[in-house]
Amino acid sequence: MTKMSDSWIALIYPPVAKPAEPPAGIARLAGALRAGGVDCRVIDANISGLCHLLNTVLPQNDTWSARAFKHRDNHLHALRDPAVYARPDAYSRALSDLGRLLHNAGQSTAARPGLADFTHARFSPVNSADLRKAAQRPQDNPFHDYYQNHLAAEVLESGPCVAGISINYLSQALCGFALIGVLRQLRPDLRIVLGGGLITSWMRQPGWKNPFEGLVDALICGPGEKALLEMAGCRDTGKLPAPLPDYTDLTANFYLSPGFVLPYSASDGCWWRKCAFCPEKAEKSPFRPVARSTAAAQLRHLTQQLQPRLIHLLDNAISPALLGQMVHTPPGAPWYGFVRMGPPLDDPDFCCNLAASGCVMLKLGLESGSQEVIDHLEKGINLKTASKVLKNLARAGIAAYVYLLFGTPAETRAKAFQTLEFTAAHSPYIDFLNMAVFNLPAHSPEAETLESRNFYKGDLALYRDFDHPFGWHRPQVRGFLEKTFKKHPAIRPIVRRDPPVFGANHAPFFIRAFEHPKKRRTMPC
């Protein structure tokens, strides 16, 4: 490849996202750029910015804040200590106190930062005008001091040509644009490029028009390796090999997990791509898998290099082919990820072999205990198979983190009770639950059949509110969840087990088998 010899790209991951592990996307970009001979630097401003807020927040007079301030260093240490994950009360206290400190740190700017979210009283992340205001007035963001006095120097010290900012979540949008404002003030000539999951979702909406011209120099839709290499002057980028992610700049960061968690993505998009109302389907995101043998080889290499305590497979759904490869070529460390409830997990022997490969937990999108609702959602799941899968995983000692979705257009209160009944009946086989209320993707084909209205005020909103065809509206759904579903005696203990704030990212550390692999199988395989 030919390239510009003076090209230097700073890849930045802004606040706020769960700081349990390094950002996989920019690690993959770094691997591709360096393989192409392009110098780059990776900066996780999320974990660094959150730690800066926690270390500079001023003490408050109220009892809760005073206690949190006094114990903040101990709390940060606790979240990195495996022993604390055997003490849920200590774990929850650490998160509660750290959240209090972050809330206090944002009060002077009308913002509310947390360990996993960020809101602002004056600016909305789904309003492009507000995002531009966030860039015009970066001093209204609680991370401004960190940006101005720490991050900017780190970014600019080597004189980069390009700053690439990766925004994956709404909780990063306002902070990402405040960072753009600081960089524009300090280096007006710096080329600023935006990419990441949220930017991609915006750009794939029908009728998209870039509202950030004059502020941002380029937007990248989808994987950014080719675009950044070409921007750096590289040629012959037609068919790039799957890059080995490069975590060199990220292993020294002190993430809030009991050991280094290695995130790895073996695909972009979803191999199923049939679920109704799915944003992946609505956005027509292509499925781009890494060859399973390549993925297995890369995982083994990264495991030997980084010695992770846990591997997090980020695929929207790990394909059956990759699951088989994981059995054939174990990565060498405990791992977890998201899968569909079907073959090959309906085979008890396969599940035992999966556990032997290091699988400690699987996330499973059941969505409903009503077969009619599942069929309407085009999930391709059979409840009898789902039951068998849950029992097979329990027998193999693999924890099940089950996702349920309430308030979908086909659901009624009676069908929601079917979900309750299925969940209660299978409670011995379910370790964790994620219960969500349905949001209507703004441009899904199915949305055209429903009466809908703006859910959030803003031109970048990805979801809409709607009139439920059976009157099963959001307030009724939430009431059912809080007053009935979560209080069922078989379900209440599962709900209480879910780690606050971090959810599935920390759930594997609460599994006894994670600390005691020989005790993993609870039933003979």
Could you tell me if 283 and 379 lie in one domain? Answer: yes
Residues 420 and 334 in one domain: yes
Query: CA 187 to CA 500: how far, in whole Å?
Result: 40
Q: Which single residue is written with the structure tokens 């990419």?
A: 195
Residue 406 shares a structural domain with residue 299:
yes
Instruction: Specify if 240 maps to a domain.
Output: no
CB 358 within 8 A of CB 335: yes
CATH of the domain at 393: 3.80.30.20
Q: Tell me how crowded residue 352 is: count the other CB atoms within 10 A of its CB.
A: 22
Position 377 scores a pLDDT of 92
Task: Report yes or no on 16 lying in a domain.
Answer: yes
Question: For tokens 């394909």, what's the residue?
Answer: 319
Domain boundary residue, one of 214, 231, 248 = 231
User: Do 477 and 338 sit in the same domain of this protein?
Assistant: yes
Helices and strands of the chain, counted as H and E runs: 21, 18
Asked if 435 and 504 touch (Cβ cutoff 8 Å), the reply is no
pLDDT computed for residue 343 by the predictor = 95
DSSP string, 325-364: HHHHS--SS-EEEEE-SSTTTT-HHHHHHHHHTTEEEEEE
Question: 88-106 and 63-70 are packed helices; what angle lies between their axes, rounded to 10 degrees?
Answer: 110
Is 3 within the bounds of a domain?
no
Q: Are residues 277 and 368 in the same domain?
A: yes
Whether residue 354 sits in one domain with residue 227? no
Tell whether 225 and 284 lie within a shared domain: no
Supply the pLDDT for residue 238: 61
In a domain, 522, yes or no: no
307 located within any domain? yes
Q: Whole-angstrom distance between the N-terminal and C-terminal Cα of the chain? A: 52
Q: Is residue 254 part of a domain?
A: no
Strands (E), 349-478: 359-367, 399-406, 432-437, 440-441, 452-454, 463-466
Supply the pLDDT for residue 437.
Answer: 96
* Number of domains comprising the chain: 2
What confidence tens digit (pLDDT) does each residue in 68-126 have? Answer: 999 999 999 999 999 999 999 999 999 999 999 999 999 999 999 999 999 999 999 99
* 182 touches 147 (CB < 8 A): yes
Q: What is the pTM of this model?
A: 0.94
Q: Supply the range of the domain harboring residue 47.
A: 8-231
What pLDDT does 279 receive?
A: 67
| Domain stop point among 213, 231, 249 | 231
Domain identity same for 320 and 451: yes
pLDDT of residue 270: 80
- Structural domain contains residue 362: yes
Same domain, 117 and 179: yes
Question: How far apart, in Å, are the Cα atoms of 468 and each of 440, 464, 485?
Answer: 11, 12, 20
Q: Are residues 281 and 420 in the same domain?
A: yes
227 and 274 together in one domain: no
- Residue 251 included in any domain: no
157 and 217 both lie in a single domain: yes
pLDDT along the chain (525 residues), means of 10: 57 98 96 92 97 93 93 96 95 97 95 97 97 98 97 88 96 98 96 96 93 97 90 73 90 91 90 72 74 95 96 95 96 97 96 97 97 94 97 97 97 98 98 96 82 86 92 96 98 97 97 58 51
